[in-house]
Amino acid sequence: MPEKRTVAAVTGKGSITLIEQDVPPLTDGTVLVEVHSSLVSPGTELGGWRRLRAELDEPKPLAEPRPFGYANAGVVLETGEGVRGLRPGDRVACMGSGYALHADYAVVPQNLCAPLPDEVSFAQGAYGHLAATALHALRRGEPGFGEFTGVVGLGIVGQLAARLHQLAGRFVIGWDVIPLRCRVARGWGIDTAVLAGSEDEVAATEAFTAGAGLDSAVLAFGGDATAAVESIERCLKRSPDGHPVGRIVVVGGCKFPYTSSLTNVDIRRASRTGPGYHDEPWERGADYPPVFVRWSTRANLQLCIRLIAAGRLDVNCLTTHTIPLARAEAGIAAIINEPDEILGVVFEMEHQTSQRRERRDRRG
């Protein structure tokens, strides 16, 4: 078993570096995973590093670089006491802040892992965490078949939320200010994507709903959402006395004032992957009774992997960059200042690179 691991870490300058640290001890209810791919979030990770760079007048290095990441996939090497349903050699998708790091080895609680079918690649499996986040946002919005939904912010979570709403029988219009994201949304089958600011998103939404108005909206971005919510408010369905009615699910870190005009709008937060996440006993195996908690974090994660395996959630189109972990620092530096050209960034570990080289050698 490995004693050391290589981990990507963020410095006080907002740059990425690689550090070596001890592999965490394998404790009850956890599994040791040889990581093959991990997913970098363009918002919470790349966006955060970019903001950190912009805010610094002078570099202010931290006492030590901070490891980061919360979505990866790989192969189980060893299991701790009490682990059920996972064994060495199993392919798994893993999630969880502080666990599923951008590292070549990770120790992850068993309930934050889901088996990965052979037809699902490690890079696809690394989308599990954000897919489960989007799925929980859908559940929080209580979708009705045939309803209209607007998704504001077509980053990874927004894209996944839009597609999952379609699979739930809804008609979806997406808004974003970045052309790439609108092209990706249209390319993988989202009903309509509007380049907000360049196009009239309110008029486009009215036409899309044939004047019926949106039944719900998902806010999947960070920052000031005042203008976006004002536009969504104009797009929601109306009561006979003219009040906007519907549901707004906030899955991103955006903020907006709660005004009197929103008093008939149901606003819901959905910033998790489902029940269980951050409940340490649950993460390590103390499951909730499924009859009462049907859609826990792990159940959501497993369903997302099943949808990917069935080809109903095609996450391949969301990946814009693949970078070897060994070149993380240079690879991120080369793209971080071009945020409008980035969506999914996948780190690929040396295990996978070696396997590909071996396959090429065998074919040769």
Domains in the chain (CATH in brackets) are 4-130+275-285+294-363 (3.90.180.10), 142-269 (3.40.50.720)
- Weakest mean pLDDT among 12-16, 108-112, 159-163: 12-16
DSSP secondary structure string for all residues of 106-170? EEEEGGGEEE--TTS-HHHHTTHHHHHHHHHHHHHT---TT-EEEEE--SHHHHHHHHHHHHTT-
Q: Is residue 133 exposed (0-12), middle (13-18) or buried (19+ Cβ within 10 Å)? A: buried
How many angstroms separate the first and last alpha carbons of the chain?
31
Asked if 172 and 162 count as a contact pair (C-beta separation under 8 A), the reply is yes
pLDDT value of position 42: 80
How many other CB atoms are found less than 10 A from the CB of residue 123?
21
Q: Structure pTM? A: 0.92
Residue-wise pLDDT for 71-103, tens only, equals 999 999 999 999 999 999 999 999 999 999 999
Q: CA 364, CA 361: separation in Å to the nearest integer? A: 5
pLDDT value of position 356: 46
Residues 6+ apart with CB under 8 A from 7: 18, 19, 20, 21, 67, 101, 102, 103
Residue-wise pLDDT for 281-320, tens only, equals 999 999 899 999 999 999 999 999 999 999 999 999 999 9
Q: CA 247, CA 264: separation in Å to the nearest integer? A: 9
Residue-wise pLDDT for 17-68, tens only, equals 999 999 999 999 999 999 999 999 887 787 766 666 666 555 555 557 889 9
pLDDT value of position 55: 62
Residue-wise pLDDT for 180-194, tens only, equals 999 999 999 999 999
pLDDT value of position 22: 97
Integer angstrom CA distances of residue 43 from 46, 65, 252, 342:
6, 20, 9, 10
In the chain, the percentage of residues whose pLDDT exceeds 90 is 83
| Nearest C-alpha neighbor of 318 from the set 329, 304, 330 | 304
**Which tokens go with 141?**
């919005």
